Amino acid sequence: MDSRASDIKLLQDLISIRSYSGEENEVAEFLAAEMARRGFSTRRDAAGNAIGVLGDPNASERIVLLGHMDTVPGWIPVLQDGDRLYGRGAVDAKGPLAVFVLAAARVAARLSDTCLIVIGAAGEEATSPGAHHLALTMPAPACSIIGEPSGWSSITLGYKGVLAINYRLTQASGHSANGEATPAEEAIDFWNRVVEATNNANQGESWRFTTIDPSLREIHSGGDGLEDWVEMRIRLRLPPGLDISSLQGEIASWAGAAEVRFPYSDPAVQSEKNTPLVRAFLRGIRAAGGRPTFKLKTGSSDMNVVGPTWSCPIVAYGPGNSSLDHTPEEHIEIPEFLRSIDVLVHALEQLLH
């Protein structure tokens, strides 16, 4: 099997392993074995992350390539149709993770005083327990690359923040003719208050990276004849510079008799353009025949978790069209996947000079 066919097979094998958030053990063991086969020293940490190290772990400089192994639910049969490879995780984010493993292995012989660390993190599509564990336990590297789809000729410099809101209201059951608001109606009033407040906050903002974007993810209501209840999950996408603690206090003040919890939040993150890491990627993209562009994403990623803690040069990079994330049509273009490996090899070689 030639090297390109072997590269494609790694990606196909990764996609073929079902790994919904919280169910990553099989894919983590496979990833660790594949990295070991390519010369990495491998281990699993307490959060379930799969970690591969090339070079001396005590080297004076460390570069971390942080991808994630989990996917959202919704199985897509793995299928190659011409240059397209279909399957859950092809874009988000096993394609970028495979690129990390393959590119790092190619430059291993050039390591001297630099250590390369490739990580398949657990739970990014949930609450990022893998990345939070790394932020607490792993010393800050010289620079870090996050494995997320940017397109082979683009670099992602930032992501919006996120705030999750869980709303629950329970009250004694009453007759529908008594005129009292039901829990479901109270919940809708709360949601409308959130929408009104974000619309007011967004006045004058035309760029989505600087707006607060609310999303009603779930709402359920019911009763047993004695009590009626409603539960609702809301997610806010947040712009840079927002005081999340103050926002939580304001939202909680609208709840009335309801219980409002904030199960997780991460601030927005935006990195600088003028760093050796960014310049290395610009050279790599141009060397592969591309015209580099920068992106700021309206979603979030593990970059939101480790970026503020590590405070090092950081970007996100990987093949794939992010508009296919979480969709039934998720697929990656194989030529783009292969070209992304070349870009990353060139970028790493620049950083290793």
Q: Indicate the DSSP class of residue 109.
A: G
Q: For the residues of 326-343, what is the DSSP string, one character each?
A: TSTT-EEEHHHHHHHHHH
Structure tokens, 166: 């869980």
Cα dihedral value 343, 347, 348, 350, nearest 10: 140
Label residue 24 left, alpha or beta by phi (over 0 means left) and psi (-120 to 50 means alpha).
alpha
Q: For the residues of 77-88, what is the DSSP string, one character each?
A: --EEETTEEEST
Q: How far apart are the first and last CA of the chain?
A: 32
CB neighbours of 37 closer than 8 A, spacing ≥ 6? Answer: none
pLDDT at res. 2:
79
Distance CA 92, CA 1 (A): 27
Place of tokens 């003719």: 177
Structure tokens, 6: 């072997």
Q: Give the residue numbers marked as catalytic.
A: 70, 124
CB neighbours of 53 closer than 8 A, spacing ≥ 6? Answer: 40, 41, 42, 115, 116, 117
pLDDT at res. 60:
87
Q: What string of pLDDT tens digits covers the 353 residues of the chain?
A: 678 999 999 999 999 999 999 999 999 999 999 999 999 999 999 999 999 999 999 898 999 999 999 999 999 999 999 999 999 999 999 999 999 999 999 999 999 899 999 999 999 999 999 999 999 999 999 999 999 999 999 999 999 999 999 999 999 987 565 668 899 999 999 999 999 999 999 999 989 999 999 999 999 999 998 999 999 999 999 999 999 999 999 999 999 999 999 999 999 999 999 999 999 999 999 999 999 999 999 999 999 999 999 999 999 999 999 999 999 999 999 999 999 999 999 999 999 97
Structure tokens, 75: 């199985």
pLDDT at res. 33:
98
The phi and psi torsions of 190 (rounded to 5 degrees) equal: -65, -45
Residue 296, CA distances (Å) to 122, 124, 239, 273 in order: 24, 18, 11, 12
pLDDT at res. 13:
98
Q: For residue 210, count other CB atoms closer than 10 A to its CB.
A: 16
pLDDT at res. 175:
56
Cα atoms in the Cβ-side hemisphere of radius 13 Å centred on 121: 32
pLDDT at res. 40:
98
Distance CA 79, CA 141 (A): 37
Structure tokens, 244: 């999340």
DSSP H helical ranges for the chain? 3-16, 25-37, 94-106, 129-137, 183-201, 244-252, 276-287, 303-310, 334-351
Q: What is the CA radius of gyration of the chain?
A: 22
What the chain holds in terms of domains, given with CATH numbers, is: 3-159+269-351 (3.40.630.10), 161-266 (3.30.70.360)
- What's the predicted TM-score (pTM) here? 0.95
pLDDT at res. 180:
84
pLDDT at res. 1:
66
Distance CA 263, CA 261 (A): 6
Q: Indicate the DSSP class of residue 20.
A: B
Q: For residue 24, count other CB atoms closer than 10 A to its CB.
A: 26
pLDDT at res. 3:
85
